[in-house]
Amino acid sequence: MKAYVLHGVNDIRLEEVERPGPGEGEVLIRVMACGICGSDIPRIYQNGAHNMPLIPGHEFSGIIEETGSGVSERLKGKRAGIFPLIPCMECEPCKEGLHEMCRSYDYLGSRSDGAFAEYVKVPEWNIIELPDGVSYEAAAMLEPLSVAVHAIRRAVVRPCDRIAVCGMGTIGQLVTMVLIKSGYTDIYAIGKGSAQRDRAEASGLFGGRYCDTTREDASGWIKDKAGSIDLFFECVGKNETLSLGVDSASYSGRIVAAGNPYSDMTLERDTYWKILRNQLTVTGTWNSSFTHSDGDDWHYAIEMLEKGLIDPERLITHRLSLDSLEKGLCLMRDKSGDYCKVMMTA
C-alpha cells in the first residue's frame, strides 16, 4: 500500500509499504478521509514523532475491511470514525473512565502508525460506527470537533457569559460553531485576516463580533466591544494570547487553555497578579472523552452531525489525494496561502 513514512525530522516520503494485518482485537480500516492536524506540522518538520519511522495522521475515518481474532465479522463493511488515543486501561485515570488522561497511552499517528496511508489497523475499542447521514469527511473531523466539545464542557458555560474565542484555526472555529449552535449569542472571535472572519461569520457569528489582529489591537477591541470577558477560550498556545485572556477577564473570570503551546509559556509578574487579584480560574483541556457511553464527547459530537446541527465540512479549504498530500503539508508549514482544514480524501 502507499503511505507517507516519517523517517526523521523533515524527512517524510511517500512509499510503498506492507499493508498491515489486524491482530487480536483489531480491525483494518481503509482510509476514506484524513485531515492534517496543526500538530502534524511540528511533528514532521521540527520535533519528530515519539517513534520513527512512523506513518502520521490521526484525524480520519474509513471502512472496516478486515477483522482480527476476537472481533465480530459483522463489522466488515461498516463505516467508522476513530478515536486515536489508545489507553492502557490500567492506570488510575483509565480505571475512572478518564481515558484522555491515561498515564501510559499509545496514539495513532504519533506513537503508532496512523492514517496518511491507504490502510491503518486500529483496536476495535477505538472505533465508533457512523450513522448513514454522516459523511467520511465530517467523520474525519470528529476528532477536532470532540476536542472543541471537550473544551466547552470543561468550561461549564453559563447563559449570561460574555465569551471570547481567541484563535480562529480549526479548533477555535469549531468552538465558536458549537457555542453558537448551543444557543450562546454574546460571543467575540479573535483571529487573523478576512478569510477567518468570513468562516466565523458563515458559522453564525454575529456581525461586528470579529477582531482581525492584523488590523486591530485585540485588547482595546475587547474593551470597546465587551468591556470585559467572563469566559475566554485560548486556542492559540502563545504567551501573548494567554496574557490577553488574563487582561480581558472580568473579576472571577474563567480562561480555558486549549491551544497546544508553540514554545515555553511564561507569565509576567503583572499578569500573575491579575490572576490572583481577580480570582481567575485557568482550566486546562486536552483531547476528548471517549468511553463508549452516550454521554462522552464523541457521541455528543456525532449526534450533532447526525442531526445536522453543525457542519464542520464548511471548514475544509483543501481536498487532496494521498499522492498530493505533501502539498497540503507544505502549505501549512510555510503558511503560503489561506487554509483552515486540509483534508486527504480517497
CATH number at residue 21: 3.90.180.10
Three-state helix/strand/coil letters over 235-261: CCCCHHHHHHHHHHEEEEEEEEECCCC
Q: Output the domain CATH number for residue 217.
A: 3.40.50.720
Q: Is 298 a member of any domain?
A: no
- Do residues 172 and 60 share a domain? no
- Do residues 235 and 323 share a domain? no
Q: Is 62 a member of any domain?
A: yes
Please give the grid coordinates belonging to residue 32.
Answer: 476514506
Q: Is 299 a member of any domain?
A: no
Q: Is 189 a member of any domain?
A: yes
Q: Is 292 a member of any domain?
A: no
Q: Which residue has cell 496511508?
A: 117
- Do residues 255 and 196 share a domain? yes
- Model-wide pTM > 0.85: yes
- Do residues 322 and 215 share a domain? no
Q: Is 322 in contact with 118 (CB distance < 8 Å)?
A: yes
Looking at the structure of the chain, the number of domains it has is 2
Q: Is 78 in contact with 100 (CB distance < 8 Å)?
A: no
Q: How many CB atoms lie within 10 A of CB 25?
A: 13
- Do residues 326 and 272 share a domain? no
Domain boundary among 284, 301, 325: 284
Q: For the chain, 346 residues long, give each residue's pLDDT as a single digit of tens.
A: 999 999 999 999 999 999 999 999 999 999 999 999 999 999 999 999 999 999 999 999 999 999 999 999 999 999 999 999 999 999 999 999 999 999 999 999 999 999 999 999 999 999 999 999 999 999 999 999 999 999 999 999 999 999 999 999 999 999 999 999 999 999 999 999 999 999 999 988 887 899 999 999 999 999 999 999 999 999 999 999 999 999 999 999 999 999 999 889 999 999 999 999 999 999 999 999 999 999 999 999 999 999 999 999 999 999 999 999 999 999 999 999 999 999 999 9
3-state secondary structure of 320: strand
Residues of the domain holding 50: 2-140+311-345
Question: What's the CA gap between 87 and 99, in Å, rounded?
Answer: 6
Report which secondary-structure segment, H or E, holds 341.
strand 341-345
